[in-house]
């Protein structure tokens, strides 16, 4: 995915085995790099993944906490805005 500020975002493509079958999946997490660069973060690394057995082509990586942290920040911001509306 290309951004407007000179950055590109790539989802991680991961190979894993489950129930004797091999899968290639794209993760919900991604790496952002300057446009024209090749991402090299977390290449050839063993990780723990989570997935739904009915949709094995989409996974989330346990060790990559970025999406969890961002989600938690948005939750806190949402809660603060609701509280601020009641106070003001």
Q: What is the pLDDT along the chain (88 residues), one digit of tens a residue?
A: 555 567 777 777 788 888 888 888 877 776 677 777 766 665 666 777 788 888 887 777 776 556 667 778 888 999 999 998 888 7
- Distance (Å) of CA 35 to CA 8, 12, 26, 72: 5, 17, 21, 28
Instruction: Give how many domains the chain has, as a whole number.
Output: 1
Q: Note if the pTM is more than 0.75.
A: no
Does residue 48 fall inside a structural domain? yes
| Count of beta carbons in the 10 Å neighbourhood of residue 10 | 14
Q: Give the structural domain span for 41.
A: 7-63
Does residue 59 fall inside a structural domain? yes
Does residue 26 fall inside a structural domain? yes
Query: Each residue of 17-28: b (16+ CB within 10 Å) or e?
Result: eeeeeeeebebe
Per DSSP, which regions of the chain are E strands? 7-18, 21-34, 49-52, 55-61
Does residue 88 fall inside a structural domain? no
Does residue 19 fall inside a structural domain? yes
Does residue 74 fall inside a structural domain? no
* Cα–Cα distance for residue pair 27/49, rounded to 1 Å: 9
Does residue 86 fall inside a structural domain? no
Does residue 70 fall inside a structural domain? no
């Amino acid at each position: 995915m290309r951004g407007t500020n000179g950055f590109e975002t790539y989802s991680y493509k991961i190979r894993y085995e489950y129930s004797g079958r091999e899968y290639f999946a794209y993760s919900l997490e991604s790496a952002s790099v300057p446009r024209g660069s090749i991402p090299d973060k977390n290449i050839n690394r063993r990780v723990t993944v989570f997935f739904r057995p009915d949709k094995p082509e989409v996974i989330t990586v346990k060790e990559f906490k970025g999406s969890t942290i961002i989600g938690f920040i948005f939750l806190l911001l949402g809660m603060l805005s609701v509280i601020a509306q009641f106070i003001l």
